[in-house]
Homo-oligomer: A and B are copies of this chain.
Amino acid sequence: MTVETLENLHDLIEQGDEGAIREALSDMPSADIAEFIDADFEVYRALNLLEKMPAEQQADVFGYLRPNNQQELATHMEVGLLAKLFSDMSSDERADVYAMLDIKLQDALMRRLAKKEREDLLRLASYEEGLVGAVMTSDYASIPAGGTVESTLKRLRQSAPEKETIYQAYVVDSDHKLVGVVSLRDLITAAPSDAIDDIMVRDIVTLTPDMPQSEAARIISRYDLIAIPVIGDNNVLIGMVTFDDAMDVVEEEDTDSMHKSATVGKIDGSLKDASIFLLYRKRINWLVLLVFANIFSGAGIAYFEDTIAAALSLLFFLPLLIASGGNAGAQAATLMIRGIATGEVVKSDWLRMLGKEMAVSTGLGITMAVAIAVVGSFRVGTDIITVVALSMFCIVLVGSFIGVLLPFMLNRLGWDPATASTPLVTTIADTSGVLIYFGIATAIIDFSVVT
C-alpha cells in the first residue's frame, strides 16, 4: 500500500467526508483496508469504516483482519449484522472466525443463519486444525455431468458471485460424486455445443479432508494448480482448497519449522500480538531441558579434571572444538530437515545421505584440523597441537554424523524432523566433543613433560 493512499484515507476520516471515504475505500484492495484497520485497531473506528463498504467488501476485508481483531469485532457487533457478514464470507474463513467465538455467541449466531450455512459451518468447524478439512472451502463450483459447454457457462455465470473460484469447475454425477474437472479456459475455447463429458479431464488430482495441510500445499505447488477438489467417502465431492490457502499454509508451516529449529514452540497468531508470558512459555521448556542435557558435558569435564589440571592450556581450545562439532552438525541437520520437509529426501535415503555426509565432513574435518593447528602453533607445543587437530577432525565427523542421523530417526519415530533443532544437535555434539577431546588428550599427552 502506498503511503499516499494511507495518509489520504487518514485525512478523509479526520475530515469526516463520508462520500470521499466511500469512494476511497471502493478503490482500495481489501488486504490494504484490513492492514489500515489492523495497524491502529479500535473497535468502533473499525465498525464505522466497515459500515461504509458494500456487504461483499465488508466480508472480504473482515476475512483479512488479524484473528484477535476479528474476534473483538465479532463480539462487539450486533448479532444480526454479524450473521449477515457471515453469510457473505467465504466458507473457510467463516469457519475459522466461528471457532474463535464464545459458545453463547456461537449459539446466537447459529440461530440466525440459514439451514444450509449452519450445516456447512458445523461441518467445516469440526475438522482438526492442520488438516485439509479445516482449510477447505465449500464455495466450489460444481456442475452436473451430461451438460454442454453452453449450459455449463450459463450456470457458472449465475453462480459466480457465491463461488471462491469458477476457474475450475467440478463435474459431479447425481450422487455428487466427482467424475471430472473442467477449467474455464477450456470452456471458453471449446465450441458452445461441445459435451462437457468430452472436454472434461477425468484423471484428477484430489485431496482428502484428513490429509495434513502441508501435504495439500505441496501437491498444489507441484502441479501448479489454482484449486484442488477435496473428496470424502465414495469419491463424493465435499470441498476445495485454493492456491491462496496453500500459500498461507506454506508460510505458516515454514515459520513453525524455523521456530522449531531454534526450540521455539508454535505461536498461533502474530509475533507482535504475542504476550510476554506466551513467549516465555513457548521458550522455557526447551531451554531448561537443554540445561539438563548439558550436564553431560559438565560431567565429561569433571571426569577429566585431572587431565585438565595437568594441562590447563587444553582449555583454550575447548570452545573452538566443541563449537565446531555443533556447527558442522547443525549444518548437516538443517540440510536433512529441509530436504525431508520439501519431500526431496525420503526415509529410505538415509544411508545414501549419511555416506555423502561422511565424505563431505571428512573434507571439512581435515580443513579445520589444519586451521586450528595453524592457530594453535602460536600458543602451544607439538603434542597439544596434535591432540587438538586430531580432536577437531573426529569432532567434526561425529557432529555431522549426529546431524544426519537425528532427523531421520525422529522421522522414523513419527516426529517432526525439525525437532532435531540446532540447539539439540549442538548439545549432543558438545558432550561428544568434550569426551573426544579430553579422551584423546589423556591418551596421547605425556603429562610428566607438559606441565
* A residues neighboring B (CB under 8 Å): 27-29, 31, 153, 156-157, 160-161, 165-167, 184-185, 188-189, 202-203, 205, 220-224, 226, 243-244, 246-248, 250-251, 254-255, 257-259, 261-264, 270-272, 276-277, 279-280, 283-284, 286-288, 290-292, 294-295, 297-299, 301-302, 305, 308-309, 312-313, 315-320, 322-324, 326-328, 330-331, 333-335, 337-339, 342, 344-345, 349, 356, 359-360, 363-364, 367-368, 371-372, 375, 396, 422-423, 426-427, 430-431, 434
18 A–B contacts from the bound complex (CB under 8 Å): A29-B223, A31-B222, A167-B185, A167-B226, A184-B188, A221-B247, A221-B251, A258-B258, A261-B334, A262-B331, A263-B330, A271-B345, A284-B368, A287-B328, A288-B371, A297-B320, A301-B316, A330-B422
- The chain B residue with its CB closest to the CB of A219 is B31
The docked-state distance in angstroms from the alpha carbon of A134 to that of B220 is: 23
List of B residues within 8 angstroms of A251 by Cβ: 221, 250, 342
Q: What is the minimal beta-carbon distance from A255 to any residue of chain B, in angstroms?
A: 5
Chain A contact residues, majority secondary structure: helix
The oligomer's copy count stands at 2
CA distance A75 to B38 in the complex (A): 54
Contact A262–B294 (Cβ < 8 Å): no
Contacts of A327 in B (CB 8 A): 263, 286-287, 290, 423
B334 x A259 contact (CB < 8 A): yes
Residue ID in chain B nearest A153 by CB atoms: B188
